[in-house]
Amino acid sequence: MTHLRKMMLEELQRRNYAENTIRSYIRIVEDFSRRFHRSPESLGPEHIREYQSELFTNRKYRATTVTGYLAALRFFYTKTLKRAWSTAETPYPKRPLSLPTILSQEEVAQLIDAARPPLHRTLLMTLYATGLRRAELARLKVTDIDSRRMVVQVQGGKGRQDRLWAMAHKRSYVPGKVMCRELRSISKRHRLLRIAFMSRCVDDSA
């Protein structure tokens, strides 16, 4: 591990950044250094501008991705090297505002029905019913699910924030009993779902 990498890692850890963010920031600074075949300590604003331009023109990255790259470089220069950062010289790209594509209830039902493996179908149903992010769904625990109250508690979500998600209540919106029935049918084959859901499913055998 180089001295600069160690310094940056320590600064990220001191500020309690998430592990994914730490890995991403370090990877980006290493990519920036490889692009110019020099230590990032010897690179300046003119190199950052050239690098930013190439992210758009050559790699065809979106504005949100380029913003993440700049955030990593800004952290490195301001927190690790203790240098000034000029937003005038290195502006963040404008993000285009566009409306999301919203599927109808019928389209959502077709999407879920198209997933043949019970595991995939149940994951899609859970994502739709709760609105969870993919990583949040993967980290769910038994104690996070309360199908009687139709509530999911997200612990350590984006920004390391806890929050409650209310599952849909109408039968047309993937009711909890249907989800639990699916989960019971595959609980012996799939460890993820057995850990995450089974003890909190309501008894709908009657």
Q: Mind listing the pLDDT tens digit of every residue in the chain (206 residues)?
A: 689 999 999 999 999 998 889 999 999 999 999 999 999 999 999 999 999 999 999 999 999 999 999 999 999 999 999 999 887 788 888 887 777 788 888 888 888 888 887 778 877 877 777 777 877 777 777 677 776 777 777 877 666 677 777 665 544 444 455 555 555 555 444 554 444 444 444 444 43
Contact assessment for residue 167 and residue 129, using Cβ atoms and an 8 Å cutoff:
yes
The rounded distance, in Å, linking the Cα atoms of 86 and 94 is 17
Helix (H) or strand (E) holding 120: helix 118-130
CATH homologous superfamily of domain 105-200? Intergrase catalytic core (1.10.443.10)
The domain limits of the chain are 3-80, 105-200
**Structure pTM?**
0.63
CATH of 3-80, one of 3.30.559.10, 3.30.70.890, 3.30.450.40, 1.10.150.130: 1.10.150.130
Measured CA to CA, the distance from residue 19 to residue 21 in angstroms comes to 5
DSSP letters for 52-86: HHHHHHTS---HHHHHHHHHHHHHIIIIIS-----
